[in-house]
Chains A and B, each alone.
Chain A
């Protein structure tokens, strides 16, 4: 008998297959058992660490590339001789193997965490080793992404960033999570890999491993034990979707030819081929953090210039919008010696960091100027975390002063959206970062899973702020882009176009779906959908009203 579960569809597409749950980290029992043979216990503990190292090495061999390097380094930690000595010492003193492993790794973890920066990030590797070794020793299921040896639908409470490294997009048919929202890691990951996904789906974890489920990542439905007809329907929808996407090419435009530029969000040179393959009209958000985080020293201007030029050349003359460094206490720079802050999201981050390290922005702008000269690219530059027209004016002066013609700012603080008309006088364009704009508008931490419904990009208050910004842009005759997750929701993209947004930037796998959605509507329909969504009282009502308007 089939039954339906309902959640939030965050990554389009349909798929059916056997469900397998994400392995959860094992817990040590409260009571520590007595050990009879301490020597044998020590051998068992070290053998478990060796086995973890061996499995990490074989995963590295399968993964290849940069992921392999990370896994090999983790394997070396698991098989570390100093760690083995410490574990033997603890087991020799009477601790059971699982407890000895756990405690030895915890002591190294404490050492790394106290050092901060790069070392603190390795603490997650040690946690993973401890979880795996303890699972082996206690006979529990391995934590992390399962590898059942056949394609499967992954069920989880929520995926962590660390799960990204080990997820094989070829084996995962669809993802269903009990928690999470439209901007959760699961949603971003699923969209990046083009895997259908439903989040915020109560009851997902009550599905037994091996049960066949049919997932519709557009409608947000999960059918447990579907009928053969329902499985066939999922396959048919999947084929129809593939055909519809294959038919959509070229620049973004509505059915009646109103242009809406379709751009790619890019995090480094490695992402450029995906943007080109997806037929993006350019890069709408080039994040530059990859050059700065995870290293001890500030990258030189020359190193930055070479890297920017590589990306600009890779885009072959298409428009590229670069966001200057968006670091802060939550994404600390090893060379900035920034104080820890109680609320990093509300602290010294983005453009605000310029007060602490003014040379950082000048070096970056100089490198961008030279890279633009090297390549003759259409380069736009924008600042993150801008709150006032005065900040926007100062930034635009800096950019223009370096000889870069087009300066803009991100609209991600409600204050900036409310003053959009004044800000528009200071800059050449703006780009709305809907993820942070949601977080700050609703006073809801993006990391807090329980608050996910507030961060739904269909929230009417968020739509109002986008509408204000778009109206200000239209009045000034200046471009208004959206570069958050909102842009990648095909129905919401139609609403955004109707509000007057002139370009949409998203992870490359989402482009085809959005291109097809825009091509299916006239501008008048987009505007009707926008008016209907703005008038709604809840996200669900906004979705329903927009859908009705596009079908009406």
Chain B
């Protein structure tokens, strides 16, 4: 049962630096494989930091998360929340 979410990247720095680390760490702990793509782009492994930062998704861009399996819906809810959050606003400016 394939689950899918469209999410707008909330951090102005984009899916890079700390937001990318947080996202990939969460994806690596998910019980099912998760894929991430830019809208209309090739899906890539969400557990791979190099692939995720290589997407070059910027703040305001829409990304598509997909997962397959038992807990897919719950997993994607959690990951979508991480993508949508503005992590820049939580402190460190640099």
- The answer to whether B21 touches A69 (Cβ under 8 A) is yes
A55 to chain B, nearest CB (A): 17
Number of B interface residues in the complex (CB < 8 A): 25
Q: Which of A245-267 contact B (CB under 8 A)?
A: none
> Given the complex, which residues of B lie within 8 Å of A93, measured CB to CB?
none
Q: A291-B93, A296-B12, A303-B93 are in contact. Are A118 and B17 (CB under 8 A)?
A: yes
Select B49's contact among A76, A296, A303, beta carbons within 8 Å. Answer: A76
- Enumerate chain A residues within 8 angstroms of B12, measured Cβ to Cβ: 295-297
Cβ contacts B28-62/A at 8 Å (1 or 0 each): 00000000000000001101111101101011000
Residues of B within 8 A of A241 (CB): none
Does A127 sit at the interface, judged by CB under 8 A? no
CB B62 to nearest CB in A, in angstroms, measures 16
Q: Within the complex, which residue of A66, A72, A77, A303 is in contact with B50, where a contact is CB–CB below 8 Å?
A: A77
Using known A-B contacts A296-B14, A307-B93, determine if residue A119 contacts B53 with beta carbons closer than 8 Å.
Answer: yes
B48 touches A80 (CB 8 A): yes
Q: How far does the Cβ of A52 sit from chain B's closest Cβ, in whole Å?
A: 14
**Given the complex of chains A and B, what is the CA–CA distance between A83 and B21 in angstroms?**
16
From known contacts A81-B45, A82-B48, A122-B53, infer whether A69 and B94 are also in contact, taking CB-CB under 8 Å: no
Number of A-B contacts (CB under 8 A): 61
Contact with A along B1-38 (1 / 0, CB 8 A): 00000000000111011101100110000000000000
Determine the residue in chain B with the shortest Cβ distance to A291: B93
Interface size class of A (residues with CB under 8 A): 20 to 34
Complex CA distance for A17 and B60, rounded to whole angstroms: 54
Contact assessment for B25 and A76 in the assembled complex, using a CB-CB cutoff below 8 Å? yes
Tell me, yes or no, whether A31 is within 8 Å of chain B by CB.
Answer: no
B54 neighbours in A (Cβ, 8 Å): 108, 111-112, 115, 119
Q: Closest residue to B51 on the A side, CB-wise?
A: A82
**Nearest B-chain residue to A299, judged by Cβ:** B93
Rounded to whole angstroms, the CA-CA distance of A69 and B16 in the bound complex is 13
Which chain B residues lie closer than 8 Å to A291 at the CB level?
93
Q: Is the CB of B56 within 8 A of A297?
A: no
Bound CA span A221–B24, Å: 50
Question: Which A residues touch B53, using CB under 8 A?
Answer: 112, 119, 122
Chain B residues closer than 8 Å to A112, beta-carbon distance:
53-54
Separation of A118 and B49 alpha carbons in the complex (Å): 14
Chain A's nearest CB lies how many Å from the CB of B26? 12
Q: Which residues of A contact B47 (CB under 8 A)?
A: 81
A66–B17 Cα gap in the complex (Å)?
12
Q: Are B48 and A81 in contact (CB under 8 A)?
A: yes
> With A118-B16, A291-B93, A296-B59 known to touch, is A82 a contact of B21 (CB < 8 Å)?
no
Q: Are B94's CB and A294's CB within 8 A? A: yes
Give chain A residues whose Cβ lies under 8 Å from the Cβ of B14: 296
Min CB distance, B35 to chain A, in Å?
A: 12
From known contacts A294-B94, A297-B12, infer whether A73 and B50 are also in contact, taking CB-CB under 8 Å. Answer: no
Q: Of all chain A residues, which has the CB nearest B25?
A: A76
Is A268 interfacial (CB-CB < 8 Å)? yes
Instruction: A115-B56, A119-B54 are known; give 8 further A-B pairs, CB within 8 A.
Output: A80-B51, A83-B48, A112-B54, A118-B13, A119-B56, A295-B13, A296-B12, A296-B13
Taking beta carbons and an 8 Å cutoff, which residues of B are in contact with A? 12-14, 16-18, 20-21, 24-25, 44-45, 47-51, 53-54, 56, 58-59, 92-94
The 4 closest A-B pairs by CB, nearest first: A82-B48, A76-B49, A80-B50, A82-B51
Sampled A-B contacts (21; CB under 8 Å): A66-B92, A66-B94, A80-B48, A80-B49, A80-B51, A81-B45, A81-B47, A81-B48, A108-B54, A112-B53, A118-B17, A119-B53, A119-B54, A268-B94, A290-B94, A296-B12, A296-B13, A296-B14, A296-B58, A299-B93, A307-B93
